Amino acid sequence: MVRPIILHSAHPLKASCKKCSLSGLCLPLAVSDEDLGRLEDIVLQGRIYNRNELVFEQGQTFRSCFAVRSGAVKSYVISENGEEQVTGFYLPGELVGLDSMGSDRYACTAQALERTSVCELPVTNLEVLTQKLPGLQHHFFQRMSQEIQNSHHLSLLLSKHTAEERIATLLLSLSRRFGRRKLSTTHFNLPMSRIDIANYLGLAVETVSRVFTRFQTQRILKVHGRGVELLDLTALHAATQIAVPKRNLG
Amino acid sequence: MVRPIILHSAHPLKASCKKCSLSGLCLPLAVSDEDLGRLEDIVLQGRIYNRNELVFEQGQTFRSCFAVRSGAVKSYVISENGEEQVTGFYLPGELVGLDSMGSDRYACTAQALERTSVCELPVTNLEVLTQKLPGLQHHFFQRMSQEIQNSHHLSLLLSKHTAEERIATLLLSLSRRFGRRKLSTTHFNLPMSRIDIANYLGLAVETVSRVFTRFQTQRILKVHGRGVELLDLTALHAATQIAVPKRNLG
DNA sequence: CGCAATCTTGAACACCCTCAAGCATGGTGG
DNA sequence: CCACCATGCTTGAGGGTGTTCAAGATTGCG
């Protein structure tokens, strides 16, 4: 199905986090300039994966976390029955594999959605470094707790929101994350397929498609394949809110 | 609505994790006997909360994680719109507040479901200790990643499973966790209301009620209020599986 | 250029929600 | 101790959102 064509360079370059354009988003923001060298010492840079290639696979021995440098990655878990649940999309500056920290095996599979470059953080070295740098340990606690919070918000989305609200929320999340990298918050390409979106949001592909066209007829956005243009951010934000108040409120 | 009648003792006892019956489940399992004293030094023991009392509240300054000692706790997040999503139930030996580690404010509210005793772990001291004890740091990474995985499994449950499958899964999860404490895996009391179950599983209360009666007529279990008796664990496990295979499979 | 995968659109059905009402439970005060 | 009321739980009927099934349109890659 998915052929893992390993392409990463045999001799990874020594990382230069300091010069990386993502240093304000990624791990460097957690360590002082003088300690940055120690972080660079353990980072394996320059791994490149082609579209659909697996960065790691659920059940494999857990060795490393990965920071996305360019491109995009999706993560998904596979249950005993073989069902897949997409659990997250990771853009440049974001960390993949935090849900396996401290485990001996990867708890999910990470797959490149397009040609993607990542920086690898071998856990053995990483845990030694977090042991020495309190700020880095604190930062990892923060990132991991953020990951828990993200997942809780996904649960809220799945359990209490309509198809339109789910999709509007995802689009605004992507928009915000593109904005963090000084990219356009209104014009961007979706790194993932409709199938991935549907799976992530607990919907049928057909529903995702229908909602996109509905938003388009409402002049909220334009879509051409994976390209989206958010025409009315206010309306899109309004579409994330629950239409008819439900009883469930405390 | 919920009156916080603070009851915890003014002078918390010095903890004796070593003698605690939960030492095989809780934090002590992560530290050596010689280091256990240092853990006991930072643990504030003996806080007791009455039913419905808040252990901490979303938005408050984050000070501590809590280990449940007896009773049970639920956690929930409140969105901007005021909707509540129950994100977890915590039984003795389990840690509450991991989703706020590294943050400056609590990301969720924790509420006692019954008369509950907890051990408090002030984060300032905790992060100093994880800095000194690599095993404890590793253990916290593990607990936090476990929390992420749990939430991912909840997402899977919410997005791909029917009402019956969700409830069967929750019952088996509780059964397993009671079993870990050497309690009966087939006879126990639900610590939470139908409302909490419904909210957690993304269902209407009525649906939860209907599924319970359906399971009862199928001789899978007996319910009398909050008391449940699992009559057929095999059938219950079978009920967690997807009945009609969906297309979503990879 | 052609095939496979992805995406879109339409029609019918199903699961669960909403609304409504009745029943059990439990805590409180007379 | 029991009546009382609020809350939680159960059961029934009807309707809506999203799914399933089916077929066609578009994309993209060899």
The model's pLDDT over B118-155, given as tens digits with 9 standing for 90+, comes to 999 999 999 999 999 999 999 999 999 999 999 999 99
pLDDT in tens, A119-130: 999 999 999 999
- Cβ-Cβ contacts under 8 Å for A196 (sequence gap 6 or more): A74, A86, A89, A113
Q: Say which amino acid occupies A248.
A: N
Region B166-192: what's the mean pLDDT? 97
Contact A221, A236 (CB under 8 A): yes
State the Rg of chain A over Cα: 19
Show the tokens assigned to B246.
């969906």
Strand positions, DSSP E, A127-243 = 187-189, 221-224, 227-230
Minimum Cα–Cα distance from B161: chain A residue: A202
CA B43/CA B61 separation, integer angstroms? 19
Show the tokens assigned to A146.
């953020």
Q: Is the CB of A205 under 7 A from strand C?
A: yes
Provide the shortest C-alpha distance from residue B73 to chain A (in Å): 17
Which chain A residues are within 8 Å of B140, Cβ to Cβ? 102, 141
What average pLDDT does the structure give for chain A? Answer: 91
CA A58/CA A139 separation, integer angstroms? 25
Which chain A residues are within 8 Å of B250, Cβ to Cβ? 1, 78, 82, 84
Provide the shortest C-alpha distance from residue A135 to chain B (in Å): 10
Which chain B residues are within 8 Å of A130, Cβ to Cβ? 137
- Write down the pLDDT at residue A15: 66
CA of B194 vs C1' of D6, distance in Å? 17
- Cβ-Cβ contacts under 8 Å for A91 (sequence gap 6 or more): A68, A72, A174, A177, A178, A181, A191
pLDDT bracket for residue A14 (50, 70, 90): low
Which chain A residues are within 8 Å of B147, Cβ to Cβ? 148
pTM, entire model: 0.91
- Write down the pLDDT at residue A18: 86
Q: What percent of chain A has pLDDT over 90?
A: 83
pLDDT-wise least confident of A147-161, A183-197, A219-233, B1-15: B1-15
Strand positions, DSSP E, chain A = 13-14, 44-49, 54-56, 64-70, 73-78, 84-90, 95-96, 109-112, 116-122, 187-189, 221-224, 227-230
Closest nucleotide to A204, Cα to C1': D19
Three-state secondary-structure class, residue B15: coil
Chain-centroid distance, C-alpha A97: 10
More confident residue, B68 or B250: B68
Q: Is the CB of B163 under 7 A from strand D?
A: no
Contact A67, A117 (CB under 8 A): no
Closest nucleotide to A209, Cα to C1': C8
Most confidently modeled range among A99-108, B5-14, B41-50:
A99-108
Q: In terms of C-beta density within 10 A (0-12 exposed, 13-18 middle, 19 or more buried), how is residue B2 classed?
A: exposed
Which chain A residues are within 8 Å of B141, Cβ to Cβ? 101-102, 127, 140, 144
pLDDT bracket for residue B249 (50, 70, 90): very low
With CB atoms and an 8 Å threshold, state whether A160 touches B131. Answer: no
Which chain B residues are within 8 Å of A103, Cβ to Cβ? 142, 145-146
Region B79-107: what's the mean pLDDT? 95
With CB atoms and an 8 Å threshold, state whether A85 touches B201. Answer: no
- Write down the pLDDT at residue A16: 81
Q: Is the CB of B242 under 7 A from strand D?
A: no
Which residue in A99, A159, A249 is closest to B152 by CB distance?
A99
Minimum Cα–Cα distance from A143: chain B residue: B102
Cα torsion angle, A34, A35, A41, A46, sign: negative
- Write down the pLDDT at residue A250: 33
Strand positions, DSSP E, A130-235 = 187-189, 221-224, 227-230
CA of A202 vs C1' of C10, distance in Å? 22
In the predicted structure, residue B116 carries a pLDDT above the cut 50 = yes
CA of A250 vs C1' of C29, distance in Å? 28
Q: Is the CB of A246 under 7 A from strand C?
A: yes
CA of A97 vs C1' of D11, distance in Å? 47
With CB atoms and an 8 Å threshold, state whether B99 touches A138. Answer: no
In the predicted structure, residue A169 carries a pLDDT above the cut 70 = yes
pLDDT bracket for residue B46 (50, 70, 90): confident
Provide the shortest C-alpha distance from residue A156 to chain B (in Å): 6
pLDDT in tens, B3-33: 444 444 444 556 688 889 999 999 989 999 8
Closest nucleotide to B209, Cα to C1': D10
Three-state secondary-structure class, residue B179: helix
Most confidently modeled range among A37-41, A42-46, A153-157, B21-25:
A153-157
- Write down the pLDDT at residue B12: 53
Q: What percent of chain B has pLDDT over 70?
A: 91
Q: In terms of C-beta density within 10 A (0-12 exposed, 13-18 middle, 19 or more buried), how is residue B82 classed?
A: exposed
**Phi and psi dihedrals of B55, rounded to 5?**
-80, -45
With CB atoms and an 8 Å threshold, state whether A144 touches B87. Answer: no
